[in-house]
Structure 1
Amino acid sequence: MDLSTPLETICRLIVRARELEAQVPAIETDEEKDPTDSDDEFAVLEDEANEAIEEEIEALLDDLGDDQLQEVLALALVGRGTYDASEWDDAIEAAADPDAEDPADQLLDMPTLAAYLEAGLAAFDLSCEGMGQID
């Protein structure tokens, strides 16, 4: 299986998806305090919505051609266990289903997108090892 989507692009998507997944929803309180003054050492991780990361993921997906977007979705489906590596053609067919939700929306709705993509790459003996920030 040869990817038409650059591995660097998939790896960048993995990094950004990890960052998005690591965010903890902010807890609403009546008092507005500086999170660094809190007794909760993890309060600084609370970020209601770091829209910049989500926007970057959306931009990465928007920059892909339809076939590449379907390929990334198929990788995530393999990584999720919906298909295995030997069923690649079936995964691509499912990702290209015109009656299904938009592939970009499907990817954005996956709560553990980074893990699915990593597992999908691993199913084909590919990885992001040695790709900049991903070591």
Structure 2
Amino acid sequence: MPELEISPANVVQVILWSREGPSAGAQLREFIAALNEDEQAQLTAIAWVGRGAFEPEEFDEAVATAVAEATTPTEDYLMGMPHLAENLEAGLEALGIDVTGEEEDLL
């Protein structure tokens, strides 16, 4: 399991807001924009692992790629990604990060 800069609770918050769709769009955009660069890169990497672009053991490489290839604001990139919530959920699961407690706390 990789050591995360971004807290699992923050990832779950992004998942919940992205599921709400346009009604939570402004909150989601501000939340992602307020994360630091490392957290944004890790959030992107978790989504990439979830959609199969990287294997779980390539997480550090995915983070480095997210930093190196960031050409648009992370919030724009992630909010334009189809199935963001599903990708993040699958990524957390693939990385062995259990967020059951965080989901219950946020709901």
TM normalised by structure 2 equals 0.87
Cα distance, 1:103–1:123 mapped onto 2, change above 3 Å: same
Of the structure 1 ranges 88-97 and 125-134, higher mean CA displacement relative to structure 2 is found in 125-134
Asked whether the equivalents of residues 18 and 114 of structure 1 are also in contact (C-alpha less than 8 Å), the reply is: yes
Q: Kindly state the Cα deviation for residue 59 of structure 1 after the two structures are TM-superposed.
A: 1.3
Structure number with higher relative contact order (C-alpha < 8 Å, ≥ 6 residues apart): 2
Aligned length, in residue pairs? 105
Matched-pair identity in % = 28
Query: Distance between the aligned counterparts of 1:99 and 1:92, measured in 2?
Result: 11
- Between Structure 1 and Structure 2, which shows a larger proportion of helix residues? 2
Amino acid paired to 2:59: W
Larger Rg: 1
Q: Which amino acid aligns with 1:10?
A: V
Pairwise CA RMSD: 1.8
Shift of 1:134: 6.5
What 5-or-longer segments of structure 1 have no aligned partner?
21-48
Question: Against the structure 1 CA distance between its residues 99 and 111, is the aligned structure 2 distance closer, same or farther, given a 3 Å change threshold?
Answer: closer
